[in-house]
Structure 1
Amino acid sequence: MGSGALLLQQREQPWFLVLAILGAVYVAAAAFQVLAHIALLLRRPTDLRRRYGAWAVVTGPTSGIGRSVALELARLGLNLVLVGRDPAKLHDISETISATHDGVRTKTVVLDLALVTTPAGDAGLARLREAVSGLDVGVLVNNAGVAKPCAVYLHEVDVEAWVRMVRVNLWSLTEVTAAVLPGMVERGRGAVVNIGSGSTEAIPSFPLYTVYAASKRYVAQFSRSLYVEYRSKGIDVQCQAPLFVETKMTSVVARSGKRRGLMSRLMVPTSDAYAGAAARWIGHGPVCMPNLGHRLQWCLCSFVPDRLLDALRLRENLRQRALFQRLRSARINGGLPARKQG
């Protein structure tokens, strides 16, 4: 029997047709997601102030994604309640907004989110509730997050570091949301945006960042459930799950990858570029990746077996671990280059 006849016989088998149909549907679904993403980028942006309210609350607004999102929301005409632990840095971003966006009002709330569940944290949450009382808060962006300690095995770090990470990434996000939601429910409109991580959506595991990934998985599930819970009350809840963005948190890894030709501007956007896309995606689904490059990476990962993704991620994170170990050693040695480890 020739190869052509054998191929024809295979095509006549029911299982072959089923697999072909499933494959075509899968590819079509991935293509539809990308096209829907592009269509949203081309559409006229939503007027967030008109749809949700005049004020936005942003946690962690003094650097990285949080700073860029605060500036983007100010550009769109929203007044801002800026929540962070450093009074000087809060003053700086507040002054920057006032100087660059006429008519935009700001309030600052000093709250160390790593102290939630402590008396100091309770006092800070009370200040937040007082600050938003009577304001038409339409948007809440829970941006504050902790990734340190970076690229380490679970047993290598003191438990207090994990507790701090869980408090900021998980517990404080829940507390701040609970503080702002009642006003949105009373007004019958609002949007809650929780910054999660693509590590919980695009890939099956994130070794050496285990507690970080687990805390961000909570953010995604928290958002999905609240989306269903509050949609009928006029409130949109969303988890935005970015992959790498050029921020202080990821700058060392991103710069290292670029030197090796692994990352491009498309795949690792600046925080300003991310913020522009993030504002457009508010109100569009419970979980999203606002950046198109991130979305393409997500689609590509869906075609790769989990075992291979696990192996690739472990290898890359072990590389990051070695990099961070050298940096830590250099700091301990007074800035001198660390010795190469065998």
Structure 2
Amino acid sequence: MEFGLPKEQAVVKTQPPFGEVREGRVALTPQGVRELVERGHRVYVERGAGERAGFPDGAYEEAGARLVSREEAFGRGEVVLKVGRPTLEEIALLRPGATIMAFMHLAVAESSLVEAMAEKGLTAIGYELIGAGGRRPVLKAMSEIAGRLAPQIAGRLLEAPFGPGVLLSGLPGIPPADVVILGAGVLGRAAARSFLGMGASVYLLDKELSALEEASKEATGAVAALITQSRLERYAAFADVLVGAVAVPGERAPFLLSRALLSRMRPGAVLLDFAIDQGGIAETSRVGVYQEMGITHFCLPNVPALVPRTSSHALTATLLPFLLEVEEDPLGVPELRQGAYLLLGQKGGHLE
């Protein structure tokens, strides 16, 4: 089978301290390419595809890839492996009937994008849905990375001159920052562990008792409580950092934070909305890093792109085992079929 590996083009322009955030992840490292080639597959890599993640073209050539133009990376692959959802321009480059794989999140995509893929008879597989039995290894890896990054991001946004000048850990005699995390899934638990490691006071809210029980084991020292509207309002009011880690794979993120609720938060507080790639959890959430209602919003849909090398290794480690099972059709691998939004242009699975 022939695989295409194009270079990501997405750029999110934000205010300091982050500036431009370019998508630098790549779906396969050179080692991942090598393993596919050894199985008899051909891999076409766009020149420069891995450069932002520290993987030079020469490393892909040594692994057995063929370096090609952008048009060829999209057009020659029976299966094209992206990171971000394809654009209309990229869809136009794909061969009819091809399989495109990426973090799709089609529940919040423009209808014209879905229609363009359907008209071309594409099979669209979302990394966020790949897996079996409730396990989604690719999504889990990216969620773990985002959660571990949360204290680094929040710490920068709390610092002067952009924030109120609060140290997450506090000092002896000076209390630490209060961090409220909405959602006790993989991302929420990872964030809780990391914030606790920085010395912050952590509060975890979730609607599922089983998730809170798991969080209590992993994040010893965090306050874990069932979410209610009154509790959400009370906790948000004292939070220095509010983390949105609530998401339902394949669906729009639940709406939790109204303007009325946000108006009760501390001036200079930070909102990390990690559900922005699924629509966001706040009424004020939109893609970018900005201040609104006195709150610093961090709403980047590709947080793991801040560490593209680590994220590319993690993406390859979790995706490659399924790719190695592919013989003639990716849909022949049950875990990949589980991730299908479109099946040869027909709505299936998570778009039915």
Larger radius of gyration: 1
Judging by fraction of residues, say which structure has more strand. Answer: 2
Judging by fraction of residues, say which structure has more helix. Answer: 1
* TM-score, normalised with respect to structure 1: 0.38
Higher relative contact order (CA 8 A, sep 6+): 2
